[in-house]
Chains A and B, each alone.
Chain A
Amino acid sequence: MGVSIQVTNLNAWYGANHTLQDINLNIPANHATALIGPSGCGKSTFVRCLNRMHETNPVARVTGSVRMGGMDIYADTTPVEIRRRVGMVFQRPNPFPTMSIYDNVAAGLKLNGYSNRRALDEIVEKTLRNSALWDEVKDDLKKKSGASLSGGQQQRLCIARALAVDPEVLLMDEPASALDPVSTSKIEDLIFQLKAQYTIVIVTHNMQQAARVAENTGFFLNGRMVEFDSTHKIFTNPSDKRTEDYITGRFG
């Protein structure tokens, strides 16, 4: 089951660039939360702070606290451990090119030393079904490389890979921006199904997408969070002028 996320006074830098400034935010468990904003506003940096991927860049720096299920991920644990609990789907599908479809899904478990084959078979089938990919790949599970699938299938494979470790939170960084409309709609259907079970944070530059899948939406601008409210309110009656300008397409 998902956990809620409490972010307090989060600041992040890339070198001298102060990319996130004083973010405070509560993300509820088992719901989808969308983050919107013009490109370069810090929304991607923000999700990368939620599983400590931001700090993989040598010039990056973070301060503040992020609590997940009562645990401060920057104080009480290590990057490796927290990333096992927080799945991430990236902007471009990135299946492991040398691995079969099966191994891609099982990667998070196998590479961490899980070796129970029977259980793995079950998990792979279940997650592929949950990711709406099972019927398309069940015949080539161990024959084809993950890289042989179409772009949309690859992205669903990446979602399955993230889900196979049964994470508590699923972060998605513009998961559909590199996909065609049909694949995008499949991904959105999937998010819609998954949010009952996982806490989902999805970054998107597509406002319609945010409106379709998320209960709550946050608007980022220039490294600050301008407004966070229910999606309905953000899109119909935003309280900040800048949000309204963005929603109505007056800039960006």
Chain B
Amino acid sequence: MSTLRSPFRSRMRALTDHAVTGLAILATLIVVTPLIAIFAYLVVKGAVSLNWAFFTQVPKPVGEPGGGMANAIVGSALLLGVASLIGVPIGIGAGIFLAEFGRGTRLANAVRFTADVLNGVPSIVMGLAIYALIVVPQGHFSAFSGSVALGIMMIPTVCRTTEEMLLMVPHAVREAALGLGVPNWRSALSITVKTASPGIITGCMLAFARVAGETAPLLFTALGNEFWSSSLNQPIAALPLQIYEYALSPYDDWHRLAWAGALVLILLIVLSVALVRYVTSRGVLKGAS
């Protein structure tokens, strides 16, 4: 170790240390730059293209200026609503199974592993599978098939966060409910799930936000639609689909609409998350953790 004491070595060591620090700071700056760039572009380009018509009108035919994405906003809302109706109950149910009934069993491990597999399925493959499962037998593209694709993609996230949050509920609380002679199902729903509900809701919102911007699973299921539609049985427009289509179009007017759509989509995601946070934080009693 005596060589380490030579002045040259120690100066080198100090220099390396500084150099690495500098590199780490540089890396962080490089990472933050595209983020800021993306948001700046979204806000600037999106804001100048946003107007009232964007929210109230359907797309105009090629060549006519103006038009909006009202149908895509409604379509996205419908798709996501139905998707949540499918994905949230199944996900929470599976999470309850993992945390309350399946602890340590082989079935639970298998379910956990399968959920991870499902989570890793590329979204485009999910689109293919739902196309084969629903669109082909039905004979036509539909909003319903798109909702199913998005709903299935929500399940793993909801399931795993529900399990994690339920496991964080202290054992003493479960015992208290059992000790009162409360039936299992009631204690699971009214005590354990309720105690864990802030975390479970956050998990559902994460799943929702992730799925809200998904485009690939909708390409061959919901397909997109230039016109008004609110039927589950018909092709339907969605913001991400519309952004994709307009971004690759050759028209400047549509490019501007795409930027506006992107801004609205991001705001929609952020707002829905914030709204749920706010609503769930209001009903909380003083002193509750």
A213 to B141, CA, bound (A): 75
Interface pair A148/B288, CB less than 8 Å apart: yes
> Any chain A CB within 8 A of the CB of B64?
no
Chain A residues contacting B289 (CB-CB under 8 Å) are 97, 147
A98 to B280, CA, bound (A): 12
> Any chain A CB within 8 A of the CB of B4?
no
Question: What residues make up the interface of B, taking CB atoms closer than 8 Å to A?
Answer: 170, 172-173, 175-184, 186-187, 190-191, 194-195, 197, 284-289
Question: What residues make up the interface of A, taking CB atoms closer than 8 Å to B?
Answer: 51, 53, 56, 79-85, 87-88, 90, 92, 94-100, 107-108, 111-112, 140, 143-145, 147-149, 158, 161-162, 165
Chain B residues contacting A108 (CB-CB under 8 Å) are 180-182
In whole Å, how far is A213's beta carbon from the nearest beta carbon of chain B?
Answer: 21
In whole Å, how far is A199's beta carbon from the nearest beta carbon of chain B?
Answer: 16
- Other A-B pairs, 12, CB within 8 Å; known A90-B176, A90-B179, A147-B287: A83-B178, A83-B179, A84-B181, A87-B180, A94-B172, A97-B195, A97-B288, A98-B195, A98-B285, A107-B182, A111-B186, A148-B285
Chain B residues contacting A90 (CB-CB under 8 Å) are 172, 175-176, 179
Interface pair B173/A96, CB less than 8 Å apart: yes
A144 to B187, CA, bound (A): 21
Chain A residues contacting B288 (CB-CB under 8 Å) are 97-98, 145, 147-148
Known A94-B175, A111-B190; judge A143-B181 contact (CB<8 A).
no
Interface pair B179/A165, CB less than 8 Å apart: no
Interface pair B181/A144, CB less than 8 Å apart: no
Residue in B178, B288, B289 whose Cβ sees the most chain A Cβ within 10 Å: B288
A179 to B285, CA, bound (A): 24
Contact of A94 among B170, B181, B284, B285 (CB under 8 A): B170
A162 to B176, CA, bound (A): 9
Known A94-B176, A96-B176, A111-B190; judge A80-B285 contact (CB<8 A).
no
Task: Give 7 closest A-B pairs by Cβ, nearest first.
Answer: A148-B287, A84-B181, A83-B181, A94-B172, A145-B288, A145-B285, A108-B180
Interface pair A143/B179, CB less than 8 Å apart: no
In whole Å, how far is A178's beta carbon from the nearest beta carbon of chain B?
Answer: 11
Chain B residues contacting A158 (CB-CB under 8 Å) are 176
Residue in B170, B184, B194, B286 whose Cβ sees the most chain A Cβ within 10 Å: B286
Chain B residues contacting A56 (CB-CB under 8 Å) are 175, 178
Contact of B181 among A80, A96, A99, A147 (CB under 8 A): A80
Known A56-B175, A144-B287, A145-B285; judge A112-B181 contact (CB<8 A).
yes
Q: Which residue of A lies closest to B183 (CB)?
A: A80
A163 to B284, CA, bound (A): 26
In whole Å, how far is B117's beta carbon from the nearest beta carbon of chain A?
Answer: 28
In whole Å, how far is A105's beta carbon from the nearest beta carbon of chain B?
Answer: 11
Interface pair A144/B285, CB less than 8 Å apart: yes
In whole Å, how far is B170's beta carbon from the nearest beta carbon of chain A?
Answer: 7
A165 to B177, CA, bound (A): 13
Interface pair B286/A143, CB less than 8 Å apart: yes
Residue in B183, B191, B284, B287 whose Cβ sees the most chain A Cβ within 10 Å: B287
Known A90-B172, A96-B191, A148-B288; judge A51-B183 contact (CB<8 A).
no
A98 to B180, CA, bound (A): 17
A162 to B284, CA, bound (A): 24
A96 to B191, CA, bound (A): 7
In whole Å, how far is A110's beta carbon from the nearest beta carbon of chain B?
Answer: 8
Chain B residues contacting A85 (CB-CB under 8 Å) are 181
Interface pair B286/A145, CB less than 8 Å apart: yes
Q: Which residue of B lies closest to A93 (CB)?
A: B172
In whole Å, how far is B141's beta carbon from the nearest beta carbon of chain A?
Answer: 44
In whole Å, how far is A61's beta carbon from the nearest beta carbon of chain B?
Answer: 17
Chain A residues contacting B194 (CB-CB under 8 Å) are 98
Q: Which residue of A lies closest to B191 (CB)?
A: A96
- The 23 listed contacts between A and B (C-beta, < 8 Å) are A79-B178, A80-B184, A82-B181, A87-B180, A90-B175, A90-B176, A95-B176, A96-B176, A96-B191, A96-B195, A97-B288, A98-B288, A108-B181, A108-B182, A111-B186, A112-B183, A112-B186, A143-B285, A144-B287, A145-B286, A145-B288, A147-B288, A148-B286
